[in-house]
Amino acid sequence: MLGDLCCILEKQMTVLNHRISCVAAACALFTTSAFAENPSLTNPAISAVLDGYYQNTERPMAERDEGFGLGHTEIAMSANIDDMFYGKLTAVIEMHHGETELGLEEGFIQTLAMPGGFSIRAGRFLSDVGYLNNQHVHTDAFSDRPGAYRAFLGSHYFDDGVRLSYVAPTDLYWTMGMEGFKGDSMRAAGGEHEEHEDHEGHSDHAEREYKNIGVYTAYTKIGGDIGNGSWQTGLSYMRNENGRMVEAEHEDHASEDEGHDHSHSASFTGENTYIADFVYKWAPNGNYKYQHLTISGEYFRVTDFAPLEDGHDHDHDHHSEASVDDMQAWYLSSVYQFTPNWSAGVRYGETDVQELHGDHFHAQKLKETEVSLAWHQSHFSTVRVQYTNQKGTNFFGIEDDNVLTLQYVMTLGAHGAHQF
């Protein structure tokens, strides 16, 4: 009898311990979920994005090499520092010519409680010019940024600086901002010296003096809803104090590696860049999860890039800019998610640039037609196949080329929602 009683008590204690452990596990899960929804310094949101690919050939000014490779793989950590500040850190790992490269893409703080709709961001971050630039590249519907971005912004322009932004208290979404950056990756390509001649006719080379704050930007964006769709349009201006070449810079205006630059530096620069952008998103019955259409486009114009007689006098151009067309580029993109698991996109773009040869410019043109098909098992996984037809006129020797890219993008951990 006593033995049976002991067995019964042992079973009851086992059941009780099991229930206690289940409750503890549930509480732990609830606590983790609660912190994940509101990350703090004691429990920051940590995520990783894995980007792998195979590509049959290289593309001009693009980051992906021929063959198998590791694309824009990133590790990110973010949290509210306190009730006044938010912080984020994003490191990027990439493969280039068989070597692993580690870089810091973001490392900034941002205010949370400034009055009147103002906020300040300081550190290293993505500029808010244009539509795509403030978004991480793994959120794109195509494997590479359009030619306009690769030519004028180094694919995606991030830099060390500060931003002041403002959201207006209007019925429509309306934001505007100003930024100041160091601008190293936006400096004019070519030689970094100026040639000087003394009173006896002897020439020597002095190091070019770059401005410490090289890039200033200003932008405004406005958007709203129409039925089951939403729209946004924007205008941006970038002033690049180091964007114009000087007289001694008679090197090719593009990168030294025939356009295959991997330093995230702009391949073509000028003192003034103007950007106009728009995007429209539509979903049947307003449900973006199952079906939605996105139409977007941007137009770039870059001016004042011809060398000056000297590096300081901006009133006398040695190369008459009246005879040189401004550089410009544009693209138009349409992406349709026709089921929760499948989406297809088409994009066309043209890039018109000027390359310096000696004392004159050569006009170059790149046309790209791209088609992509992507499978999404969930919001965190994408497998994509993309076909690109590129045609060039004096553009790094490209006349007609076909590029096939296979890519996967997988997200691990707590990853914030993507921007509009």
CATH code for the domain in which residue 89 is found: 2.40.160.10
Identify the H or E element spanning 77.
strand 73-80
Give the separation between CA 112 and CA 35, rounded to whole angstroms.
18
Question: Exposed e or buried b for every residue in 288-315, given b needs 16+ CB within 10 A?
Answer: beebbbbbbbbbbbbbbbbbbeebeeee
Judgement on whether residues 100 and 29 belong to the same structural domain of the protein: no
6 pLDDT higher than 60: no
Range of the domain at 354: 40-413
Question: Per residue in 373-400, pLDDT tens?
Answer: 999 998 899 999 999 999 988 887 787 8
Do residues 380 and 410 make contact, with C-beta atoms less than 8 angstroms apart? yes
- Residue 418 in any domain: the answer is no
Kindly list the distances between the CA atom of residue 188 and the CA atoms of 25, 111, 192, 307, in Å, as whole numbers in the listed order.
58, 33, 9, 10
How is the chain split among helix, strand and coil, in percent rounded to 5?
15, 50, 35
Report the greatest alpha carbon distance in the chain: 119
- Please compute Rg for the chain using Cα positions: 26
Inside any domain, residue 19: yes
- Flag whether 280 is in a domain: yes
Residues 141 and 24 in one domain: no
pTM of the shown model? 0.82
Based on the fold, state whether residues 33 and 46 are members of the same structural domain.
Answer: no
The verdict on residue 319 lying in a domain is yes
State whether 148 and 235 are in the same domain: yes
Domain total for the chain?
2
C-alpha closest to that of 58 among 401, 291, 420: 401
Asked whether residue 82 is domain-assigned, the answer is yes
Same domain, 327 and 228: yes
Q: What is the mean pLDDT of residues 343-371?
A: 92
pLDDT tens digits for range 293-349: 999 999 999 999 988 755 444 444 445 555 788 999 999 999 999 999 999 999 999
Q: Single out the residue of 56, 60, 57, 58 nearest to residue 365, CA to CA.
A: 60
Contact 337, 282 (CB under 8 A): no
* Number of helical H runs and strand E runs in the chain: 2, 19
Q: By CB neighbour count within 10 A (0-12 exposed, 13-18 middle, 19+ buried), where does 380 fall?
A: middle
* Residue 307 DSSP code: P
Mean pLDDT of the chain: 82
pLDDT at 12 over 50: no
Cα–Cα distance measured from residue 253 to residue 356, given in angstroms and rounded to the nearest whole number: 6
Pair 346, 371: CB distance under 8 Å: yes
For the record, the structure tokens of 273 come out as 């860049």
For residues 69 and 7, state if they share a domain. Answer: no
Judgement on whether residues 151 and 89 belong to the same structural domain of the protein: yes
Strand residue runs (E) in 112-214: 118-126, 158-167, 173-181, 193-197, 203-207
**pLDDT digit string (tens) for 34-88?**
333 567 667 889 999 999 999 999 888 988 889 999 898 999 999 999 999 999 9
Is 24 a domain residue?
yes
Q: What is the pLDDT of residue 157?
A: 96
SS3 374: strand
Which range (129-143, 164-178, 187-201, 327-341) has the least confidence?
A: 187-201
In this predicted structure, what is the pLDDT of residue 200? 53
126 and 46 part of one domain:
yes
Tokens of 29: 């899960």
Which residue spans within 184-321 are E strands per DSSP?
A: 193-197, 203-207, 215-226, 229-240, 272-282, 292-303
Residue pair 58/77 in contact (Cβ under 8 Å)? The answer is no
Asked whether residue 180 is assigned to any structural domain, the reply reads yes
Report yes or no on 420 lying in a domain. Answer: no
Q: What is the DSSP letter of 186?
A: G
Is 110 in the same domain as 50? yes
* Same structural domain, 23 and 63: no
Residue 293 and residue 147 share a domain: yes
Q: What angle do CA 327, 142, 398 make, to 5 degrees?
A: 50
One domain, residues 240 and 102? yes
Judge whether 56 and 388 are in contact, CB under 8 Å.
Answer: no
